[in-house]
Amino acid sequence: MKLIKIAALCLPLALAPIGSTASAQGMPPEQIKQILDLTKANWVSFRDWQGQELIYFTHLESWKCGIDYVFYGLNDDPIEQEWQLEACDPDNQNVVLKDKPYLELPLGSAQSISVQLIFKDGTKSAVERFEYKSQ
């Protein structure tokens, strides 16, 4: 069922002519929220790398033109820290150019991260909690 919804949301973009202005910014806020809701399992991801724990925000960076703020809290901390999104580039709205689209933490310091989005229309997402699963 979710695959059908994702296909229905993405079909207009796939059918848009090359060079079209169809983009996340041009989508109504309801559609961006639906896409982010359907893909919330991908909002953040964990990776152990060279003695560090990395928490990637790449998915949210790719939808930055539909998000005003990203707040997070590690483990059981309050959701008070802000992930600074790149500025939206109207000509390349889903491109992630940020040098480090991730948090760098000492290995083993985060068992989970909770994330909440504030959308362009001022509404908030539900708080989503992501558990670290050892690799």
The structure's pTM equals 0.77
- Partners of 67 in the beta sheet? 119
Q: Are the C-beta atoms of 29 and 120 separated by less than 8 Å?
A: yes
Per DSSP (E only), the strands in 9-126 are 45-49, 52-56, 67-74, 81-83, 102-106, 112-119
Structure tokens at 96: 């992630």
The DSSP output letter for 122 is S
Domain boundaries, the chain: 2-131
Rounded distance, CA 116 to CA 51, Å? 28
pLDDT of the chain along its 135 residues, tens only? 444 444 444 444 443 433 334 444 456 667 778 899 999 999 999 999 989 999 999 999 999 988 999 999 999 999 999 999 999 887 787 889 899 999 999 998 999 999 999 998 899 999 999 999 865
Give phi and psi for 7, each to the nearest 5.
-60, -40
